């Protein structure tokens, strides 16, 4: 039942549009849409967690978007992302719409993870999180309320999961603070986005 509801919600997220940030700039922008209707629906139905963003991509016909979740255990990054989504070279010059990351609870320690962006989405991927006595865990956005301009070819952290015996405050905009968090916390997961200039030949 939860999976069916989740697919309906994800499909709706791909079809509907929200309120987006209009731009004349050449830079792609992203802003968090905290407490959106999609987030509230996930919470009301006890489906899991949803991170909802508004994404604006100029020159979409010449750019490539990479969205992924990487996991670190005891300071070491796993070889493959938990889930990833890669798309680009749109037929439209400008794309704007919903982009995000969803987690559907499947059993006490399990999740189905999926990503979505304007017009596209990933297949859900199942993974587990071990719950241990004495440890604290949390999910949170990594960007502030204002729209963030994305620097081409540079990854931006959008959301983070942390599991540790003692969660210390972290400045997620500071590279050294993020590296220290990865080293000190037992498990860290980072939702990241990177936009590239890339034109794929059709010949």
> Could you tell me where the beta strands, DSSP code E, fall in 42-82?
48-58, 63-73, 76-77
Q: What is the rounded average pLDDT for all residues in the chain?
A: 84
Spell out, as residue ranges, where the chain has pLDDT lower than 50: 2, 5-6, 8-10, 12-23
DSSP state of 176: H
Displacement of CA 1 from its chain's centroid (Å): 24
HSE value, Cβ hemisphere, 13 Å, CA-based, for 71: 15
Residue 61 near residue 90 (C-beta atoms within 8 A): yes
Encode pLDDT of 25-56 as tens digits.
Answer: 789 999 998 878 888 888 888 888 899 999 99
77-93: buried (b, 16+ CB within 10 Å) or exposed (e) per residue? eeeebbbebebbebeee
């Amino acid at each position: 039942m939860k999976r069916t509801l989740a697919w309906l919600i994800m499909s709706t997220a791909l079809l509907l549009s929200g309120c987006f940030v209009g731009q004349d700039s050449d830079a792609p922008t992203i802003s968090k849409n905290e407490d959106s209707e999609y987030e509230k629906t996930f919470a009301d139905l006890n489906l899991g967690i949803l991170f909802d963003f508004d994404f604006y991509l100029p020159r979409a016909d010449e750019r490539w978007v990479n969205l992924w979740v990487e996991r670190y255990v005891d300071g070491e990054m796993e070889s493959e992302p938990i889930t990833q989504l890669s798309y680009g070279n749109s037929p439209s010059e400008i794309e704007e719409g919903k982009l995000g990351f969803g987690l559907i609870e499947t059993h006490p320690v399990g999740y189905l993870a999926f990503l979505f962006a304007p017009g596209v989405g990933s297949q859900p991927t199942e993974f587990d999180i071990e719950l241990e006595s004495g440890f604290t865990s949390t999910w949170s956005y990594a960007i502030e309320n204002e729209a963030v301009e994305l620097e081409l070819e540079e990854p931006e952290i959008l959301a983070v999961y942390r599991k540790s015996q003692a969660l210390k405050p972290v400045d997620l905009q500071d590279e050294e603070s993020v590296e220290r968090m990865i080293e000190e916390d037992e498990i860290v997961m980072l939702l990241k986005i990177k936009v590239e200039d890339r034109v794929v030949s059709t010949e």
